[in-house]
């Protein structure tokens, strides 16, 4: 597995693959890799001949009061996992390689990035869209794998690639969960034992809500009930919402033929849990 940390090195390494038109798949990550990330690597492996995994804790997507400094980092452990997973090239840009002195260009995605995470974390999706755009252009990836776990992020990135005519196919990968339903996340390690035991209740609430909405109940009442249940268990929900899957437009009733998702974010102690579920 090749490892590169600056753009000239990355471009030189990708050159020979490009010269023989090998398909390149990219998996953008912030490291602290778990089996959810590795399922993205497996999906990338199946979609292309060359797999590039980026590890970059992107400062522009963290707000001033967010957890950039405590974001977990384990480069040696991550590289060992990537070698085992069949990654061809680990792209580990330094902050200076990604944002050289004088960087002044940002990608803003309107609409889909404005509600939910975008409203709670101002500037977050601009940071995400900017870094993903840069990663697409740096690697020239044909395919890029993103987790459905971060549903709004997936839609924001898809919108940015489409609007900027970047010829990359966005490949969504289903959420990997613990046996009890908790979505894998690098931040789960910050849950206390008691919080860890309660954390799966978020997914349980989403499943109950999805079943009732599919059966014809209005989302507003159903989600207000689940919000109260979660608060009773010690969660502080930021939102629970039924949305149109691609645009994140809020819905109350599921109309026939509409692809929808219930999305949620809730704080449990110091950890913010994000999850979502499709409505079939």
Q: Which residues are catalytic?
A: 37
- Among residues 54, 113, 139, 175, which is the contact residue for ligand AMP, using CB under 6 A? 175
- Among residues 184, 204, 218, 229, which is the contact residue for ligand AMP, using CB under 6 A? 184
For residue 139 the two structure tokens come to 């690697």
Q: Which stretch binds ligand AMP (CB under 6 A): 134-142, 160-168, 172-180, 204-212?
A: 172-180
The answer to the question of residue 40 lying near ligand AMP (CB under 6 A) is yes
Distances (CA, A) of 57 to 54, 62, 94, 95, 239: 10, 9, 9, 9, 25
- How far apart are CB 26 and ligand AMP at their closest, in Å? 11
| CB nearer ligand AMP, residue 17 or residue 203 | 203
- Among residues 54, 130, 185, 276, which is the contact residue for ligand AMP, using CB under 6 A? 185
CA distance 213 to 91: 43
Give Cα 185 to chain centroid, integer Å. Answer: 10
| CB nearer ligand AMP, residue 184 or residue 204 | 184
Mask 17-36, x = binds ligand AMP (CB under 6 A)?
Answer: ------------xx-----x
The answer to the question of residue 127 lying near ligand AMP (CB under 6 A) is no
Scan for tokens 């999305």, then name that residue.
263
Sign of CA dihedral 170, 94, 128, 82: positive
- Among residues 39, 54, 152, 155, which is the contact residue for ligand AMP, using CB under 6 A? 39
| CB nearer ligand AMP, residue 130 or residue 186 | 186
The answer to the question of residue 186 lying near ligand AMP (CB under 6 A) is yes
- Among residues 146, 156, 237, 241, which is the contact residue for ligand AMP, using CB under 6 A? 146
- Among residues 168, 183, 251, 265, which is the contact residue for ligand AMP, using CB under 6 A? 183
The answer to the question of residue 226 lying near ligand AMP (CB under 6 A) is no
Q: How buried is residue 12: exposed, middle or buried, by Cβ count under 10 Å (0-12/13-18/19+)? A: exposed
Q: Which stretch binds ligand AMP (CB under 6 A): 4-12, 83-91, 143-151, 259-267?
A: 143-151
Own/partner pairs for 151-155, CB < 8 Å, 24+ apart? 151/245, 151/261, 151/263, 151/276, 152/112, 152/113, 152/116, 152/117, 152/118, 152/125, 152/248, 152/263, 153/117, 153/125, 153/128, 155/112, 155/245, 155/246, 155/247, 155/248
- Among residues 78, 88, 142, 150, which is the contact residue for ligand AMP, using CB under 6 A? 150
| CB nearer ligand AMP, residue 145 or residue 230 | 145
Angle subtended at Cα 137 by Cα 135 and Cα 141, rounded to the nearest 5 degrees: 80
Phi/psi at 277 (nearest 5 deg)?
-145, 140
> Which residues of this chain interact with ligand AMP, rule CB under 6 A?
29-30, 36-37, 39-40, 146-147, 149-150, 173, 175-176, 183-186
């Amino acid at each position: 597995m090749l490892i590169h940390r600056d753009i000239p090195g990355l471009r030189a390494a990708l050159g020979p693959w490009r010269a023989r038109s090998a398909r390149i798949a990219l998996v953008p990550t912030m490291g602290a890799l778990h089996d959810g990330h590795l399922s993205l690597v497996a999906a990338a492996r199946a979609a292309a001949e060359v797999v590039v995994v980026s590890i970059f804790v992107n400062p522009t997507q963290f707000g001033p009061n967010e957890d950039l400094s405590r974001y977990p980092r384990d480069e040696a452990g991550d590289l060992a996992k990537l070698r085992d997973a069949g990654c061809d090239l680990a792209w580990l840009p330094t902050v200076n390689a990604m944002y050289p002195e004088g960087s002044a260009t940002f990608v803003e995605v309107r609409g889909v990035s404005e509600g939910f995470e975008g409203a709670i974390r101002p500037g977050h999706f601009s940071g995400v869209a900017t870094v993903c755009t840069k990663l697409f252009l740096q690697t020239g990836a044909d395919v890029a794998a993103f987790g459905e776990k971060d549903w709004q992020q997936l839609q924001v990135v898809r919108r940015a690639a489409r609007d900027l005519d970047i010829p990359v196919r966005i490949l969504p990968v289903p959420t990997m969960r613990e046996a009890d339903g908790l979505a894998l996340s690098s931040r789960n390690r910050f849950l206390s034992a008691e919080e860890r035991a309660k954390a799966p209740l978020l997914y349980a609430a989403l499943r109950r809500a999805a079943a009732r909405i599919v059966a014809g109940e209005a989302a507003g009442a159903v989600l207000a009930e689940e919000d109260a249940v979660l608060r009773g268990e010690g969660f502080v929900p930021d939102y629970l919402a039924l949305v149109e899957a691609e645009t994140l437009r809020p819905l109350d009733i599921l109309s026939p033929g509409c692809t929808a998702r219930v999305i949620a974010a809730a704080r449990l102690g110091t950890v913010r849990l994000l999850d979502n579920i499709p409505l079939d």
